[in-house]
Amino acid sequence: MIDLKDLEYGELCDFLTGLGEAKFRAKQIFSWLSKGVVSFDEMTDISKELREKLEKSAHISRLEIEKKLVSKIDKTTKYLFCLEDGNCIESVVMYYKHGVTICVSSQIGCRMGCRFCASTIGGRVRNLTSGEILNQIIFAEKDLGERISNIVIMGIGEPLDNFSNVIKFLHNANNPNGLNIGYRHISLSTCGVVPKIYELAEQNLPITLSISLHAPDDSIRDSIMPINHKYKIEELIKACKEYLKRTKRRISFEYALISGVNDTAENADELSRLLSGMLCHVNIIPVNSIKEREYVSGDKENIRKFCERLLKNGINATVRRELGRDINASCGQLRRNSTKQ
């Protein structure tokens, strides 16, 4: 049976007219779905007759909270959500001055194989549906009792490897009848699936594109990110420039500093040359050590030095503040540790 949350607003209108109903019902139903109702009976402004009709022809998907960890330091909240098929995914809610941000997963597992990442170790199980991506926001809002204003698609999975569902999700998250989250408040992070970056540019949605770059040259990037064997840095940067031209949105580059791999002054200079003249921002992240891998982060002093070197070279850069340190908030590890997977 069709999950109503997998339909875009226009498709929901068509679905209802197909049932012989008026189009405006879509507005009511879309709004109820966004509030996290789990049965049609909760839709109190809809006739019993229509509710019964819907019951027979459609499904409302839901997520169960399998585990919830709340940071005592900064309130960062990490959910392990259980999907209807028993698979688990992670979502993290972070509290910033500018609003409440959720980091959502786009796939169950990941097949990109980045060497430092916990989410990819078991490979990809399947793509998430657009409804399952949306549900992470809906059920986190419901549980927290507060509105989420920003989304980062930076959880488990490679969003550009699940392109059509992610685009559908973006449309629905933005829809004013539902969660109503502005595209400018949404970031999508990719390891660099180049052809899909062009496709995303064509969609012309003013979301922020975040590139997990992590290396200033091909030999380093080849050694830590298999995607680089397919699409070299030069092609990736070219695609970013096209994205920038289309959307006028500043590109964000993620750079996880890994001790002895990509963290020297020369690496900083090379990175500066690569990005010079581009409207962008570099987010420096201390690499998070995972037990399955040997990578470790440099010390605080080295991280600060790397950032300063970029700034001195005229590159816009900041060190990402770590949130939820006490609950291991970075993604992929909770799912790996859960017994259900």
Do 341 and 118 meet the contact criterion of CB atoms below 8 Å apart? no
Distance in Å, CB of 317 to ligand SAH, minimum: 15
Task: Give me the helix-helix angle, 265-275 and 300-312, nearest 10°.
Answer: 40
By CB under 6 A, name the one of 88, 89, 93, 256 that touches ligand SAH.
256
Do 258 and 287 meet the contact criterion of CB atoms below 8 Å apart? yes
Taking the least distance from each CB to ligand SAH, the nearer of 147 and 300 is 300
Closest CA to 118 of 301, 302, 329: 329
Whole-angstrom distance, CA of residue 73 vs CA of residue 328: 12
> Which secondary-structure segment (H or E) carries 143?
helix 130-144
For the segment 215-234, give every residue that binds ligand SAH (CB under 6 A).
none
Whole-angstrom distance, CA of residue 33 vs CA of residue 182: 18
* Binding flag, residue 6, ligand SAH (CB under 6 A): no
Per DSSP, 45 falls in state T
Distance in Å, CB of 248 to ligand SAH, minimum: 22
Reduced to 3 states (helix: H, G, I; strand: E, B; else coil), residue 276 is coil
Taking the least distance from each CB to ligand SAH, the nearer of 256 and 275 is 256
Binding mask 301-340 for ligand SAH (x = CB under 6 A): ----------------------------------------
* Binding flag, residue 288, ligand SAH (CB under 6 A): yes
* Binding flag, residue 158, ligand SAH (CB under 6 A): yes
**Catalytic residue list:** 90, 331
* Binding flag, residue 90, ligand SAH (CB under 6 A): no
Q: Which stretch binds ligand SAH (CB under 6 A): 18-26, 125-133, 186-194, 269-277?
A: 186-194
* Binding flag, residue 135, ligand SAH (CB under 6 A): no
Label the pairing between strands 150-153 and 99-103.
parallel
Tokens representing 57 are: 């022809």
Contact positions toward ligand SAH, by CB under 6 A? 112, 114, 116-117, 154, 158, 189-191, 212, 254, 256, 285, 287-288, 290
